[in-house]
Amino acid sequence: MITVFGSINMDLIATTERLPKPGETVAGNGFATAAGGKGANQALAARRAGRYVHMAGAVGKDAFAAEALALLDDAGTDLSLIKHVDGPTGTALILVGGDGENMIAVVPGANGLVTPADAETAIGRMSEGDILMLQLEVPAAAVEGALSAARAKGITSILNLAPLIPDAPRLGRLADIVIANETEFERLAGQEGMDAQAREAALVRLHAETGQTLIVTLGADGVIAIRDGSISRAQGLKIEPVDTVGAGDTFCGYFAASLDDGLDFVSALRRAAVAGSLACLKAGAQPSIPTIEEVADRI
């Protein structure tokens, strides 16, 4: 079983011909709302990959709450660990340029009220050998509590180091498996401006220090990882992206689901990379997450 402990948002998405520079105003050509939040996105991806998933987090008592949970509910995700708090549901303000790249500002709302006690409740529903998936859009104290409780109970923890908060390097050391993009990995390694050779050397060094499984997503260049002393690589699909919002979350959710499904490590990386590629072909975070059948057709 997979439990995702993390954020639940409504995404407010504007599309533009190109992303603005600092201080610049550009004309938009479209607007949409979509359910999002890194936690909810990853939970939905794991569920669409065919696994049983609990989502743990918080929403507000506002008009966005039901809409933010609708796709999770429709997919059959267990929502019994979600609390409803006074105030607004979390929101993300997203600009998507004509090349598919994006800029995002996140307003935590209810996500900021997730506590270590909520982490204890979520972990209390889990068993040894289950998988816990986390990100960094809820308070660091809650993430730390969940990671510590998971380790004490023999639960496999996967931490996605996004967004890149100041506590990310410290929290990253507490997880069994860490997933990061290139920028996040540089912060974890304490080394900026890595080329491919330096990145691989840093992976080997950190793995030797911690024994952790480390995964670095590289966008169009696929993914590189280290586990049990061995470097692995996987490629996604060659695509023309429409919208990269949610691609990383899709990778994370599909990777967790693949491990839960019993796939070997390299196969899990490949399936997750393909799913992440397919998520770039549609607009929006959750609406773009592919089904397991769509992914299987492209592997």
Q: Is 11 labelled a binding residue?
A: yes
Q: Is 264 labelled a binding residue?
A: no
Q: Is 236 labelled a binding residue?
A: no
User: Rounded to an integer, what distance in angstroms lies between the CA atom of residue 191 and that of residue 197?
Assistant: 13
Q: Is 267 labelled a binding residue?
A: no
User: Rounded to an integer, what distance in angstroms lies between the CA atom of residue 114 and that of residue 140?
Assistant: 10
Q: Is 1 labelled a binding residue?
A: no
Q: Is 218 labelled a binding residue?
A: yes
User: Rounded to an integer, what distance in angstroms lies between the CA atom of residue 42 and that of residue 132?
Assistant: 11
Indicate the residue type of 175. A
What residues act catalytically? 249
Q: Is 285 labelled a binding residue?
A: no
* Alpha helices in 157-287, H assignment, sequence order: 168-172, 182-189, 196-210, 247-260, 265-279
User: Rounded to an integer, what distance in angstroms lies between the CA atom of residue 283 and that of residue 87?
Assistant: 28
Q: Is 38 labelled a binding residue?
A: yes
Count Cα neighbours of 290 within 13 Å in the Cβ-side half-sphere: 24
Q: Is 119 labelled a binding residue?
A: no
User: Which residues does 227 contact at the CB level (< 8 Å), separation at least 6?
Assistant: 213, 265
DSSP 122-164: HHHT--TT-EEEE-SSS-HHHHHHHHHHHHHHT-EEEEE--S-
Q: Is 184 labelled a binding residue?
A: no
Q: Is 137 labelled a binding residue?
A: yes
User: Rounded to an integer, what distance in angstroms lies between the CA atom of residue 78 and that of residue 41?
Assistant: 14
Which residues contribute to the annotated binding site? 9-11, 37-41, 137, 181, 217-222, 243, 245, 248-249, 279, 282, 284, 288
Which residues contribute to the annotated binding site for ATP? 181, 217-222, 248-249
Which residues contribute to the annotated binding site for K(+)? 243, 245, 279, 282, 284, 288
Which residues contribute to the annotated binding site for substrate? 9-11, 37-41, 137, 249
